Every structure is written in C-alpha cells, then in structure tokens.
Structure 1
Amino acid sequence: MSLLGAVLLLALAGSACGATYKVQREVPEELSASAVVVYPFLFRWPEPAFRSFELSGRLLDVALAEAGERALFFGPSEFKVYRPEDDNAWAASTAVTRLAPYGVRPEQALVLRAWAERRVQSAQGELLDAKGRAVGQNLVEETTYLGHVEVVHPSTRKRVLELSGEVKVDPFAERTDDGADPAPELTRLMEDLTREALRALDDHLRAPREPSPAPARVARVPWQAFEYTEQGRPAHVGALALMDPLDAEVLRQQRLRFANPALETSLLDRMVRLPAGLYVLSAPEGGKLAPGDVILQLEGQPALPQVLARARLAPAPVQAQVLRPSGGTFQIHLP
C-alpha cells in the first residue's frame, strides 16, 4: 500500500496559535477533485447564525489562498444542509446542484466540514492580603477549544482526511481588534487546520480549466452574514434592527473588521457605509474594475469571494453588477 493510501497519524505544532493538532489521512492515490464544498461552521455551543457564516468565510479565505486556482470552492448560503454529519452529502444537502454549471461531476467534488467544542473549567480560590489572611474569593475559568476539520468524498462516503486540535485561551492575551473576534484562539486554530487540510490534498486538486487572470483584489463588505439563517437559528437582521443605533453600529464595525483583519481602520471606516458585496481594493490598469468599485452581485447572487474566484475557472463569462463610487450601477462580464 502506498503512503497516501495508508492511514497516517501525525502530531503537528500549530505555530500561529501555539496549539497542537493531529491528522488522520487516507487519501486514495486515484482521487482527483475539481471542487470543494465548505459547509457552514458548526459550533457545539449556542452562537448566532452569523457567526457560523463568517467563520466559514474566514476558512474559505484560507482555502482560496491555498488552492483558489486549482479548485472551485462553494460556501454557506450557496446551498442548504439538512444533515451536517451525514457523509452522503449529496443526499444530505443541495450542494451537488452547484456542480453541473461548471462541468464538474459529483465524484470530482469533496466536502470540507469544520466544527468545534468548547470546554470550560472553573476553580475557586482565596484572595489573601499582604499578611496571608483570607480577604475574599475569586473564580478562575479556563477555556479550551477543540477544533475539527473533516474532508469527505461524498460519492464514496469516505472521510479522506480528519484533522483535530485544541488550544487554551490565554485570559491575559492582548486584544487589538476592538472585540471583533470573540474567540481569536479558535479562529486561528481552525484556519491552521483548514490550511493543513488543503496542503494534504495538494496533489489531488485539479482545476477544470486554466484560470484566467484575477480581475481584482477585493475585501468583504459582510452584511450578508446578518441574513444567514439555519434551522432553529434565525437570521440576525431582525435583532440588528431592534438594537440601539450605537450598538448596531459597533456590531457592524466589528463584523467588518473580523471579515478583513488585515485592513487599516481608516479604510474600514469608509467601507462601513457601503452595501453588501466585494469592495475593490486594486485592479489591473485598463481592466473592467477600478479601486472603489463594489461588486454587488455575481451570477445573479450576492457577491462573495469564492464566487469571484470561481469566475476565473468558469466555462463562460460571469455577469456582475457593480456600484461605482459615484453611485451609478452597471453590468459587466467577468473575468
């Protein structure tokens, strides 16, 4: 049996977050995939629906950076998932319907599922004064996140990759994002696990066609996250409308920063007033897009980074609706 055909158990160090994680790999040599469907992130504790959407978005950003030119990626809001833990994803979701327009057969696609558990341990201790006398009590909590990423080949119902890891929260760590990420240790852990999963699949991803040049470098204007809903988890847009205007503004700024952690505050301040879509940071000179444009729709659907990336691999040009900085909208075809 070849190395790739065997089951490998690896212990790796996650440099970005000080975590350790394990990989169980059973990737058949003959596996060839042109598409990866990224499921909505599954929290094993109560979180608003927009958190699943936006954390999946961060994992999609990692996937596009690793393999955006070698595979088509699909994400939450583009399909429905009825049974997230069912390995027969074609029967447990509507994801398979997204493949045909790109000429991809079901056996040429994979599903990436990410989920996490949270464990909290509490301990009570005494507070002592300078003379060692008890003057009160304090409660100490230690939080540990356990992250998991699974890659499934739905056509054979096989899990070809299983990655897991854990990281402890440092309660004294400096926070520099104004509360944008309520669980930065978890975010970094899941990004690392996703990156490792894509690297393990490196030799098995085959683009359906040669990618065209990137039409622009973009940033997310992530208001679609507030409209995302799942069974039993309502969209947050209604709660947002009922919030105090100042609190709602802070929440929008936080979600914008979470979606674009590398952007400067001055640019985020300008973007907070824009409609949902993809803000063009830069574009090739003489191209169809220009800095300051906002891509509102792609393929008649909300503009998302993975949809823009798929336009480079699509069999035909993709129609885009674009908002100019002056306020006018127009239609173009990408790439």
Structure 2
Amino acid sequence: MTQDSGFWPNVRLVWGVVKHTAPFHCPRLMLLMVAILAAACRSTPFQVRGAVPESLGASAVVVQPFGFQWAEPDWRSVELSQRLVNVALAQTGDAALFFGPTELQVARPGEDGGNGLTRAVVATLASYGVRPDGLMVLRPSAEKRIQSGERELIDTEGYTVGQSATEVVMYVGRVEVLHPATHEVVLEVFGEATVNPYADILDEGADPAPELTSLMEALTREALRGLSSHLKPPRAPSPALATSLAWAPWDVLDMAAWMPKDMTDLEAPLRTEAGQDPRSLRMQRLRFANPHADAALLETLARRPGGLYVRAAPEGAKLSAGDLVLTLDGRPALPQTLARARLALVPVEARVQQPSGRIVPLVLP
C-alpha cells in the first residue's frame, strides 16, 4: 500500500480528530484508530469500469482540460491537466505522442453531433504519421462534496464535554479514456480523497487543493496502466534531447488579468485585488508546475521568459544545461512538445535562449 493509493487522505483526517480530542493513552480511541486503519487497508483504492478492447491501439494521447464541477478560473483547468500530462510522460516515456490541454480539443463522443475529430485534429495527427483511429483521449474531472456536522469534544477521561461544528470536504475524481474514432468510452477510473483540515500546508497558494492533485495523478497513472499494452509509438524515437527539465508556464496559462506580461514589471510594486504582488503569484505557479524544484531553480525561472529550462542534457546533445527552449515550431515550448520532437516526421525548429541571454535557432532533434 503506497501513499498514491488514495487511502492516506482519509487516514490523516481521522488522525487529526483523534489528536485534537484526547491523549493517545485512551484505550477506546486507540482501538477505534486501529479498526479504521485496518478497514482502510482492506478497501480498494480505485474503481475501474470497462477495459480497452484488444483490437484498439493508440499512437497518440490527448489530455483534455480538467473538468471542474465547481467554479474555478480557466487557467486552473489548464495547469492541473498539464500536471497530468507530466505524469503521463514520466510513466510511459516514448510509448506514444502526448498532447496537452492547450494543443488539441476533442469533443466527447456524441457532443455536437460528431465524434470530435475535427479537421485540425486529423491534420495534426497526420503530420506525425498517425491515423485518426490511433488516437485516445483522457478526460479528467472531479466534483466536490461538502458534508457538515458536529464533532464531540472529549476530555482526558473519555467523557463528552461539548461539541463543535465540522465540515468535511471530499473530492470525487474520474478519468475517462475515450476512443473518438469509434465513439466509445473504453475505460473509466474513479476515486475519492478527503481533505485533511489538520495538514500542514506549506504554500496554499501554489496548490489550493493538494488532495485533489494527488488523487488525479494517481487516477491518471491507473488509467495509463489500463492503456499501456495498447500504446505504440509511430516510429522509433531519436536520442534524448534533455534528461531533466523545468517548465515556466507563462506562455500557456491565461493569467493576463493578474500577472504582467512584461518581464520588466516583475519588481514593480503592483498589487492584485487579493493583495498579492505579481512576483509572488508567479512563484506559486512555478511551484505547482515544478513540485520537486528547489528554491534556487524557482528563483532562476521566475526571472526568465516562459519555456522549458534544461537542467541536464546528454553529452553531445544540441541542448545544454542552462538553455531555455522558448518555442518549438513557433509555438510555446511544453514538456510534451519537446518529447514529440523525438518522434516527428520532420525536424522541428526551436528558439533557444542560452545562459548568456543570446537567443539562437536550433533544429531538433
């Protein structure tokens, strides 16, 4: 059992209640804790519905914008789905071409009376040598359920001394795997995560819903496991262009309303309605896009334009540590676009800012 299983958020909630009600020497509470832990360990972390037919194969996968079933800014749908794209790249490697939420839009089968395979989608797939029936779509979504109630307050002797109002927030997540060419939903993965109100949140602004993020990452991994034996790249990939990357998302997230586009404005004493300066907000989005990056790297990215920052590259590669890939074929550089360059039919034109600040053209791979 691992922390990705979806079990730990619920256990942490129970732990918090016990911690705030009585010391651990209370036998009744200890027995309750043990019983809950045992029950949680026996539970199934996810529900899986359906299976990908053996006859279906995929050379391309599109991760759609995240479907929040409550009000959230549009950029949140993009950044959470892009986080799931990064999960897919880490898990599947070169098994398929991956496209993110800002690149291809594929309607759900039956929506608008079509199968979602517009001319633009078909043309993009054809440019990589992929047929329309070689496309799969991942549609992540979630709803938020809130339960209100009362909690007993217990003294050190185990007696009830009062009550307090409680509010439990639960996220119910889902990842659908669609095959647009046949109008089929071939696989669905469901899961739940309860918000831990007692968790130590280091930076709530970077991730306002960490339990949701962890849940959706785990559901995406599970969906990809069900799809893995059906993935096949359109051709053998070229050697790796970089071995470690970081992403500055300015060119992708639509944050014009609260973040200045001009890099020279970063130090200006501007304030948003929420009372935060643009630099602070920029650092928060960097932390979400790069959850394992250290403070020094984030400071470096905060002062650079949007793009892919090369942390490490193989010896002899065209890219070097410290390079910032600004664009690929005239579009914003994303982790998946650089990965696709290794599987492209024709070379990809890149604009790269070197550590010196000089911008040079490169042809990849």
Please indicate, yes or no, whether the TM-score normalized by the shorter chain is above 0.5: yes
Q: Which moved more, 1:301-310 or 1:122-131?
A: 122-131
**Partner residue of 2:71 out of 32, 46, 59:** 46
With 23-32 and 187-196 compared, the bigger mean Cα shift is at: 23-32
Deviations 1:106-159 (A, max 9, x none): 01111110000001112256889999877xx85321000000000111110111
Asked if residue 192 in structure 1 is aligned to residue 192 in structure 2, the reply is no
CA distance in 1, matches of 2:271, 2:118: 36
Pick closer, same or farther for the CA change 1:264–1:190 going to 2, 3 Å.
Answer: same
Taking the aligned partners of 1:138 and 1:224, their CA distance within structure 2 comes to: 46
Gaps of 5+ in 2: 9-44, 261-269
**What is the CA–CA distance in structure 2 between the aligned matches of 1:102 and 1:154, rounded to whole Å?**
18
Change (3 A) 1:110 1:207: same
Partner of 2:306: 276
SS at match of 1:202: helix
Q: In the alignment, which residue of structure 2 is the partner of 1:231?
A: none
Q: What amino acid maps onto 1:154 in structure 2?
A: P
In the alignment, what sits opposite 2:259? 240
Q: 1:80, 1:94 within 8 Å by CA — same for their partners in 2?
A: no
Residue-by-residue CA offset, 1:153-172 (whole Å, 9 max, x unaligned): 11101111111111111111
Relative to structure 1, is the Cα distance of residues 273 and 172 closer, same or farther in structure 2, using a 3 angstrom cutoff?
same
Instruction: Tell me the distance in 1 between the aligned counterparts of 2:173 and 2:131.
Output: 30
TM-superposed CA distance for 1:68, in Å, is 3.1
Identify which of 276, 280, 293 aligns with 1:250.
280
- Aligned-residue offset at 1:41: 0.7
Aligned to 2:247: 220
Q: Deviations over 1:262-312 (max 9, x none)?
A: 111121111111100000001112321111110000121000011001011
Determine if contact 2:149/2:165 at 8 Å carries over to the other structure.
Answer: yes
Q: Give the structure with the larger strand fraction.
A: 1
Change (3 A) 1:88 1:59: farther
Alignment of 1:61-72 (within 5 A): 61-72=86-97
Aligned partners of 1:275 and 1:285: how far apart in 2? Answer: 26
- Distance in 1 between residues matched to 2:280 and 2:360, nearest whole Å: 31
1:25 aligns with 2:25: no
Residue 293 and residue 94 in structure 1: after superposition, are their counterparts in 2 closer, same or farther (change >3 A)? same
- Residue 232 of structure 1 is matched in structure 2 by none
The number of residues matched between the two structures is: 314
Q: Aligned to 2:238, what secondary structure does the other structure show?
A: coil
Q: Indicate if the aligned counterparts of 1:293 and 1:325 stay in contact, CA closer than 8 A.
A: yes
Look up the match of 2:125. 99
Q: Following TM superposition, by how much is the alpha carbon of 1:178 offset from its aligned partner in structure 2, in angstroms?
A: 5.3
Q: Following TM superposition, by how much is the alpha carbon of 1:218 offset from its aligned partner in structure 2, in angstroms?
A: 1.2
Q: Any idea what the Cα deviations from partners look like across 1:65-87, whole Å, max 9, x if unmatched?
A: 12230100111111345669839
Residue range with higher mean Cα deviation, 13-22 or 282-291: 13-22
Shift of 1:21: 1.3
Contact 2:4 2:214 in 1 (8 A): no
The answer to whether the aligner puts 1:78 opposite 2:137 as a matched pair is no
Bigger share in helix: 2
Question: In structure 2, what is the equivalent of residue 310 of structure 1?
Answer: 340
Q: Give the match's secondary structure for 2:340.
A: helix
Query: Alpha carbons of 1:184 and 1:84: their partners in 2 closer, same or farther (altered >3 Å)?
Result: farther
- SS of residue in 2 equivalent to 1:155: helix
Structure 1 stretch 282-291 or stretch 201-210: which is displaced more? Answer: 282-291
Aligned position for 2:323: 293
**How far, CA to CA, are the matches of 2:226 and 2:299 in structure 1?**
38
Percent identical among aligned pairs is 51
Distance (Å, rounded) in 1 between the aligned partners of 2:55 and 2:109: 26
Residue 140 of structure 1 is aligned with which of 161, 166, 182?
166
- The Cα shift of 1:215 comes to 0.5
One of 163, 179, 183 as aligned partner of 2:189: 163
What RMSD, in angstroms, separates the aligned Cα atoms of the two structures?
Answer: 2.7
Greater Cα offset, 205-214 or 94-103? 94-103
User: In structure 2, what is the Cα distance between the partners aligned to 1:145 and 1:286?
Assistant: 46
TM-score norm. by structure 1 comes to: 0.86
- Partner residue of 2:42? none
Measured after TM superposition, the shift of residue 331 of structure 1 is: 0.6
Deviation at 1:30, TM superposition (A): 1.3
Aligned to 2:16: none
* Partner secondary structure for residue 239 of structure 1: coil
Name which of 123, 133, 137 aligns with 2:149: 123
Matched letter for residue 90 of structure 2: A
